[in-house]
Structures are given as structure tokens and as C-alpha cells.
Structure 1
Amino acid sequence: MGQTTTIRSEVEKFMESEKLTLSDVGRRTGLNVGTLSMVITGGRIMAVSQLDRITELMGLHEGYFYELYIEENIAAAQPNWRRLRPFIFRCAELNKLDYIQQITDWLLDSVVYCPVLFEAAEELLQEGKKAAAAILYEGVAVTEHSQHSERLALCQYRLFTIRLGEDQTHNLQVAAQFEPYIERLDEVLQLDALKDLANVYRSLREWDKVDKIAELMGTRGRMHYFAERRQHRRGEDPYSKLSRPLFVYIVYSDLLRGSVCEERGDYEQALEFASRYDDLSWVKERDEDTEHWKRLFQGWAKANFYVSTLFSGDFSVLYDYVDYFETNKDEFLLSLLNIVDAANRSNVNIDDILLRFELEIKSLGEQLEGTVIYSKRFKAERYSRLLSELSKYFLQQGQYKVGFKYLLECLQKSSIISNETIIIKCVGLFESFREYAASETQVAYQILFREVYRNEKNHRFAVSSH
């Protein structure tokens, strides 16, 4: 389209070439003839829904005229939210994010549009249009950066959840950027924010952070739980916006802190925490959701009793643990990781267990595909750790072919999620057992290592540039 091209001129040219009258266009588009006349003559600004119908009639792709539409009907006029909102949502449907960015930048010359843009972002997020919502949240956050408002903190919380991905280095940066904003959130919403932040740091194995955040979540959860009991009697329910029943934040705090104790080798304290979320007699609610969460935590308490016992060197509970996770398929990945890890620490042979679940182990990688990103992040990290522990186990057992197979797969998977800790562990394992590697294994390792090195170098450059 030339510099003097307008939507009106293009429509008129089309009508002339197709020998169409306004009545013809109205009939084919379902638009009122009077409205069409006003739109085409320039007496009325066209709605985006009207533009879409005319564009379809002309046989052009969706959004063909949007750039001109912005120039003619939006940027050249006074802001009109009733017109802009449908345009933003339509651009989100078509993934035309540049136009959303353009409109957002233009509107946010004035802080008066922050509330409506924030509400639009909330709706887009609910519809699953995360990239479009992120543009609005970012715009509002930049505009209100000096306001110290709750809306600013909520924008940062939403951006935190949107930006998380599989790359662990990136996730660490995202978590660190969000952490200072938690205290500015609504007191109740802080519980969900603390839960989400603790989960990210847990996947990153930042145990000091996990312990600090989990302790704070537990303290505030207890405070709110008893406040909730008084307010509930008055018919108030300030906690309905939480993603979990209120008591969950208390017992999840204990579960997280127990995990920290396990990692620090304090198995006695880990068992103490497990006993806390095993005994939930203090929870007074009896609804179905509450009972569901109580069963989950009591199951996890049982599993973590087995884990702490194994890690302390007592393998008398090994096959009880195997029986447990065999009937709890959702726990298979983590349970197997715990067993192999414990076996490596105590140099215990578990060949029979690995043979028993050989098919399930092979299918674990495939199960990660298609998983929602929030859980996939944790599963990918755990799967990489499992591959690392399996590699170590088989290499130490002298089963070098199998051990190196797992090592190469681990190196590849860890590179994808940018988990430097596991990458370094893989390199150390290979060097320790290099003399037992077949020539083709050594060649495959060198090729893969160079690829990992390039990926890490490019990733660090991208992060530093960002």
C-alpha cells in the first residue's frame, strides 16, 4: 500500500472493481447500510468488528488493515477505551503483539489509563493470552514504578508467573526480580505468592531461600487461619481468592522445611516436620476440597518418612517405599529419584528395583511432553537429576554401557533447561570413568559437550544482553 493509501480508498477501489453498491456490501457483511455510509465517507470511526467483516469480504487476511486503522482511527483521535479495548483483544486473538505494544505505549502517556489496562490484562490472562497480557502488565508496571502501589506489585506477580519457563538460569533471575514486591501485595494474596516463589527456589535447589520463604508462609498462614475462624463466624470470607484452602499454606510450609532438612542431612528434624503434616486433626473444615488436601499431605508424610529413613542409611523400609509409589503413580519420578540417590549415598545394590521398573523409566522422558509448563519445570529438573543419579549408580556398579547412556542423555536434558549444577556433575562423572568409555561413547560425549558449551555460551550472552 502506498503512502496515501487509506482504508476508505481501498474499500472504494474494491467496490468499484467488483461493481458493488453500499447495499451489496451491507448484505454480504451483515452491516447496516447507513452505518456503512458513515464509515466509508469518514463520518464515523469504524469499529474493529466492522473492519474485520469488510476485510473478509475483500478476501484479505485477518488484520490486514490494522496498521492503517491505528494511524487513521486511533492515534489521530482522542483515546476512546470503548473502541480500544475490542481492538486490543482482537489483536491478542490474532497474536499481533506489536500493535498491542503500540497502543499500550500511546495510552500510558497518561497514568489515567493504568486501571483499565490492568483490568484488560487480567481478562487476557484468564483467557490464556499470556503474551498479550504481559505487554499490558509491563506497561502498567513501568508507568507506576514510583507509585509503590498494590497494583504495581500485582503486575510484578503476574509477570513473574508468566515469565517462568524451563530455563533454570532465567527462572532464578525472574524470581529475584519479583521477590522484593511480595510485601506490597494484599496480605492474603501474599500466601500464594510465597508458595509460588518457594516452589521456584525449590526447583532451583536454593535451599536457604526455600527455608526462609516457607517459614514466613507458615507464620502468616497460621495468623490468617485463626483470623479466618473468627471472620467465618461473621459470614465473611476474605480468603476465597486463594488457590488453596487456607490450612494448606501452613502444612505446605512444614513440607518444604522438611525437604530443606533432608537436603542438609538433618533427617531427625525432617521426620519431625513430616509428623506435623501427618497429624491434621487441628483442621476443622470437612468439605471435599479440604479432605482431598488432607489425604495428599498424609500420603506425602508417609513417603517422606520413607525418604528420611533411607537417607539416614536405614534401608529396612526400601520395599515398603516401593510398594507405596507403585500404587501412587504420580509419585513415581520423585520416589525413584529418592531411591537411586539414597542407594548411591549408601552404596546399596538396587538392580532388582531398576529392572522391575525398566519400562516405566524409559517412558518418563516422553511423559514430560505436553505437560503444563508450571509442573513441567519441576519434572524436567527432577528427571535430569534422576538421569544423573542413574548414571552414577550404573557406573559405580561397573555397568558402564548403561551408565554412559544415562550420562549422555542427562547432559543433553540438563543443557535444555540450563541446569549448570547437573551439567558440571555429568562432566565430573565422565572424567572419573573416562577410561571405561568405549571409543564411540567418547566421540559422542565430545560432540555433545561442544554443543552444550555453545548453548551455555549463547545463553549467557542472551541473559547479559537482556
Structure 2
Amino acid sequence: MRKSILKSLKPDVIVEMLDMAVAFENWNKVMERADMLYQCVQSIHEERQDYQSKGMPTPHVYIERPLVYYYGFSHLMRGMAHQKMGQVDQARASIDQYAELGWMEDLDEVDMQVVQEFRHKAHVNRYVLEIEAGQVQLLEEFVNFLLEHLEEGLAGLKVITEAAVRHRWQIDRVLHVFEDQIQGDGTEMNSSNNDDIYHYCYQRALYEQWMGRPQEAVEFILQAIRLADKLGMDRYFIRCTALLESLREEATAEQIGRYRVMLEGMK
């Protein structure tokens, strides 16, 4: 991309474009936008270095976050896209790139905090990548990590449950360990974690169905339907109702009654 074009782009606008592409699960677009963000911040960084080498004041570019953040975010999003497309080796390489961002010059205290945050994300995402790839030998280590970092607990449990469904792992013991931390009845919901809770509930419903506990599966899918409505995500809602309909014959009359009331309330 030509420098004249890059200079007209704003990193924060590209971040918003990336968030939108992620929301629509358009991973090719995520990859494209991540590359655009990287080239944009690289152009800003090179221009700053050029001016500094000449002893001139650097031109002001308004950005909402430290420049190092955009480097890290571009690699993070590229890694996510590779992971979602099943490109494990490329995802590992992207994680390595945002694991260590301290190569930038003149990092102040705020910059170093950003570097540490991305280092932590890399540590978490290495576990996530390997668990999703079926590395069951890392499961206990990941569970212990999550118990030490409870702020990662819900997102981590979502990953474990999805991997259990995909690879046919029995994880009842893991779910029991977390039952006091992650409330299955959804009373801990808030706007910051609704999406994670939705995905956990949906994957937990699939797990309970596989384990031969259809009524437990229905309970989790009812929670997922409620969250899909709260999030305003039609594709989540359609996915949930399809799963519930497949379980209808094994659901209790009371559960089907709640389902009907829920649907009436959403009209």
C-alpha cells in the first residue's frame, strides 16, 4: 500500500473496522484489516524515526493509544484469523510476534504496561491454540493457570468446553472445579461478558447432549437463547433454536413451556 494512502488512514478507524469484521466472523477481512493496521503504524513509526534521525520534531499524529498497542493488536487479530481458519502454525507465529513488543525504542511506563498486557495475552492464547488443536495433555496445566487468573476463567472455560465437544473429552471434573466461579444460571451476566457466556452456554449444551444429559442441555440452550436475544445476534438465535428443536422430544414439559414464553416475549 502506498505511503500516501497509509498516511490518510487512522489507526483507530482501522481498529473499529477490525472489530466489525470479527463480529461478522469474516476472517479473510480480519486478516486484510490487520495487515492494513500493521502497515499504517509501521509507516507512522518509520516517519518518526526519520524525523528523529534528522534532529527534527516528529509530526503529531492523533492516536487514542500508544503506538505499540496497534502493533500488538494487528498481530493479535492476524493470529485470531489464522486460528479460526485452522492455520495453527501461522497462528503460533503471530502469537510470538505480540508476545514480545519491547523492541520498540523509547518506550515509557505506559508503553511498557501495554507490552506486558500483550505478553499476558500471548501466554493465554498459546494455551488456547493448543487446547483447541486437541493437546489434551495441557488441559490440567491450563486449568491451573485459569484458577490463578480468575479474570480469564469464563473465556478459558468456553475454550475448554468447545474443545471437549470437538475432541470428545469428558470434562465433568473440570466443570466441577469451576462451578463456584462460573455460575451456570447466568446471574453474573453483564454487558462485558455476555458474548463469552453465550458461547459457553451453547458449547455446554452441546457437551451435555453428547454426554447423554438432554435436559441439562436444554437448560443451557435456554440461557443461550436469552443471551442471543440480549446481544441482538440473529445467527446465534437461529443456531440455538435449531439445537433446542433437536432436543425437544427429550425436554420436560416445563422446559418447553419456558421456551414458548421466551419466544412470545421476543416478538
Alignment TM-score > 0.5, same fold: yes
| Gap regions ≥5 residues in structure 1 | 1-183, 455-466
Amino acid at match of 1:221: V
Equivalent in 18, 39, 44 of residue 219 of structure 1: 39
1:200 to 2:17 alignment: no
SS in 1 for 2:10: helix
- For the pair 1:311 / 2:132, whether they are aligned, the reply is yes
* Alpha-carbon distance in 2 for matches of 1:236, 1:332: 46
Name the SS of the counterpart of 1:304 in structure 2. Answer: helix
- Residue 284 of structure 1: how far off its partner (Å): 2.3
**Alignment partner for residue 428 of structure 1, among 242, 253, 257?**
242
Structure 1 residue corresponding to 2:251, chosen from 428, 432, 437: 437
**One-letter amino acid matched to 1:248:** Y
Higher RCO (CA < 8 A, seq sep 6+): 2
Query: C-alpha offsets along residues 79-131 of structure 1, whole Å, 9 cap, x if unaligned?
Result: xxxxxxxxxxxxxxxxxxxxxxxxxxxxxxxxxxxxxxxxxxxxxxxxxxxxx
Deviation of 1:188 after TM superposition, in Å, equals 7.3
Shift of 1:367: 4.6
Q: Identify if the C-alpha distance between structure 1 residues 213 and 437 changes in structure 2 by more than 3 Å, giving closer, same or farther.
A: same
Q: Which amino acid aligns with 2:258?
A: A
Structure-2 residue corresponding to 1:53: none
Q: Which runs of 5+ in 2 are unaligned?
A: none
Equivalent residue for 1:274? Answer: 95
Aligned residues: 263
TM-score by length of 2: 0.88
CA distance in 1, matches of 2:234, 2:93: 32
Q: Does 1:332 align with 2:153?
A: yes
Equivalent in 198, 212, 229 of residue 415 of structure 1: 229
Instruction: Point out the structure with max Rg over C-alpha.
Output: 1
CA shift in 2, pair 1:352/1:236, >3 Å = farther
Please report the RMSD computed on the Cα atoms of aligned residues, expressed in angstroms: 2.5
Q: CA deviation at 1:432?
A: 2.2
Query: Residues 450 and 185 (structure 1 numbering): CA distance in 2 closer, same or farther, change over 3 Å?
Result: farther
Q: Is the aligned partner of 1:298 residue 2:119?
A: yes
Give the letter aligned to residue 275 of structure 1. D
Q: Cα deviation per residue 1:345-396 (whole Å; 9 max; x = unaligned)?
A: 1111111111111122118945543x5xxxx3xx322221121111111122
Q: Is the CA contact (8 Å cut-off) linking 1:214 and 1:256 kept in structure 2?
A: yes
Q: Give 3-state SS (helix, strand or coil) of 1:236's partner.
A: coil
Q: Does 1:403 align with 2:223?
A: no
Go from structure 1 to structure 2 and tell me whether the alpha carbon gap of 1:363 and 1:392 turns closer, same or farther (over 3 Å shift): closer
Specify the alignment match of 2:178 in structure 1: 357
Indicate the SS of the match to 1:273.
helix
The whole-number CA distance in structure 2 between the counterparts of 1:388 and 1:363 is 11
What's the TM-score, normalizing by structure 1? 0.52
Residue 230 (structure 1) aligned to one of 39, 50, 70: 50
